[in-house]
């Protein structure tokens, strides 16, 4: 009887994803992954950072290039206008 080995992949928590998003937004431009990891307020495993970057790129918030990572997401102006006016959605 052969047994299959199952690898369980760790999923990042929402707090970790938000922490990486904030660091990328505050970077203000192109940033290398190693520099991003240094700017994070707490240590995050490299694999977890890569998993978060894959998610953010898939959702259209960042662009990952050979030179680094850049935040590209801009919220819709209409939504920002509604939020500023205090309209409850």
Closest CA to 64 of 55, 53, 75, 79: 53
In a domain, 4, yes or no: no
Q: Quote the domain boundaries for residue 36.
A: 14-78
The predicted structure's pLDDT at residue 7 = 66
Burial letters for 45-62: b for 16+ Cβ neighbours within 10 Å, e otherwise? eeebbebbbeebeeeebb
Asked whether residue 74 is assigned to any structural domain, the reply reads yes
Task: State the pLDDT at residue 8.
Answer: 64
Residue 73 burial (CB count, 10 A): 13
What's the total number of domains in the chain?
1
For the chain, what percentages of helix, strand and coil (3-state, to nearest 5) are there? 45, 10, 45
pLDDT recorded at residue 83: 75
- Mean pLDDT, 10 residues at a time, the chain of 89 residues: 68 95 94 96 94 96 95 81 68
Write out the two tokens for 48.
Answer: 């977890």
pTM exceeds 0.85, yes or no: no
């Amino acid at each position: 009887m052969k047994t299959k080995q199952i690898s369980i992949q760790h999923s990042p928590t929402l707090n970790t994803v938000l922490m990486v998003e904030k660091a990328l937004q505050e970077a203000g431009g192109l940033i290398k992954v190693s520099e991003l990891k240094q700017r994070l307020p707490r240590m995050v495993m490299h694999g977890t950072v890569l998993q978060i970057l894959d998610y953010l790129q898939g959702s259209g918030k960042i662009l990952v290039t050979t030179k680094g990572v850049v935040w590209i997401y801009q919220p819709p102006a209409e939504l920002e206008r509604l939020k500023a006016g205090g309209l409850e959605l």
